[in-house]
Structure 1
């Protein structure tokens, strides 16, 4: 420095103060990219440490995922426990008896005593539409079974009706079975011979039964009409209230179980006599006769072996008859239970008539056999009075055999 020159305090050779205001901001701005670059370099791992960091991150992510799954499972279990604890309370039957308001209890659920059928209540056992007509010329009363309604049964039933008159023992009429209904429509008419002198003491009895193929039939209701108290000068048709069913089975003469099978191609009618039950204890050596009628004349017959000293004989014997399809409408099948009584001679105990001219359960059994060809159809049948069956058959006498004169 020369003598005489004044020193310049702002010279570049002089030290710069870092705290100077004008140069601080530009320096920071210029240093930001370098700082960011150095920061990212510090974050990036060296080439040798790359896989370790990746493995660490994968383990950490798997741990987080596992912990979150465990937490979800725990939460679901807690919710289910709470739901199961609350569910029995929701499904509990509401105790209407403990309700403070008795009016609400009575309206929602009446007492059990009120739900029981009252003795004089309407339609307790159902109703029956019946028509009565008396013919003074033939001395017959015609009973027309129209229909029944509101029968009392669990679910549905297979009802049929059984009609009889007290003055005619062993004479009754059975309707056909109606499947799966509580309001059957019968539309059947039957006639009973009742002289005018017996009308005051005669009683018409109509029983409704639920048909069971292999067990005892269940009673559905009963109607008893004293004919002496009714005006039979005109045709009567009205609804009658059914009463409680009786405890007696119709015609306690025993029952017979057998099966029918028909093959249309070969014309073979197979009758298998299985067993009987409910026979009189005083009978001995019971057996069954199987007989075919053609055009109301005796045609073919066969019989089982006898069973001694039993009220429930078991036979299980089969008989095959050749019946062409063209003759089915002209054939009647009769099964009769015979036994030795006190007179030591065989007498018919009861009979069952099947075929186109039958009625009630036997007619239904015959129809089932024809509807299910080549398949045996077994069923129990009540034995009817031999006189009644013979009257229904109206058998013609046999043709006299020609005998050459000697």
Structure 2
């Protein structure tokens, strides 16, 4: 199986290998702590299962295998409230959660009426290790006082696409932490200028499903259709080799006006400038992004274009120009430019970070139904603007899709 095939299969549910390795390592430690010294057969089985799942590369299986060993859900009734405030520093792009205290939590030790609570936060849909924040553990109390500030470096536009997840847990010495309740708060309607510490009732576990609206960042690019009649083609553009038809034309001389290489054929130029707010998939909180491009329906090796890799950067600048030749305005209305962003891995398969499809969004290509002609309104607008202004650059900032399923699917 080729690397491109592996990348295609990981479009919908790409999970960082760094997080996967961390999950496996942490889970093994928790599993070993929880297994008794005499239960060596169970311990051996757990290790065998872990190795088997790692060999298969199944992060989902690893999660289900170790979730019960690391955390308890639904064992104790959810009671009590948590008090926290929110603020955003617009100058430096810092989102702050001021965790004040909790009251009337469920006691894990019912005889002594106490727990060992701490607070954990995520900005959903990011549930990676890098996106997790925690307070200190307050031992022997069901009314803990934290007075701690939790901070995230994140742009305002990205923050508005996230859901704040604040959960309370009881810390267990053996690593089997118990869920004590949570608060989910979509941040698109919250006024961060005046959100003072407020009491929130703790609720049962109810994580929202990740949808096609999940924010993956933005890509900035420019497009230009250059008819053959216009001189001054970009010398720096990466051009495709002449087609076989063009090579035959040189040998056979003049052709009729209905030749596929007539003067109305030209070049599609693409300047992939930069991306903003990409997801971190590595343990160091970063990614090694590059962009891959196809002009659908041609997905051949000759039709593939790739930018350089920018290492350890969530806001990469490529400034990379590429071109597709022998295209017309009419044919471009039937085709689609697909750009996908990937995290480059030297050993395994690359991780999908997001993508876009620029086209007419009709669902049809040359009269046939195709699943890739599914451009969103913003993608269609950029493509149509380019087609209406041949010879001129059309610049666009587009939000990356979390998967390359057809629009509207999750």
- State the TM-score, normalized to the length of structure 1: 0.34
Larger radius of gyration: 1
- State the TM-score, normalized to the length of structure 2: 0.33
- Of structures 1 and 2, the one with the larger relative CO (CA 8 A, separation 6+) is 2
Q: From the two aligned structures, give the one with the greater helix fraction.
A: 1
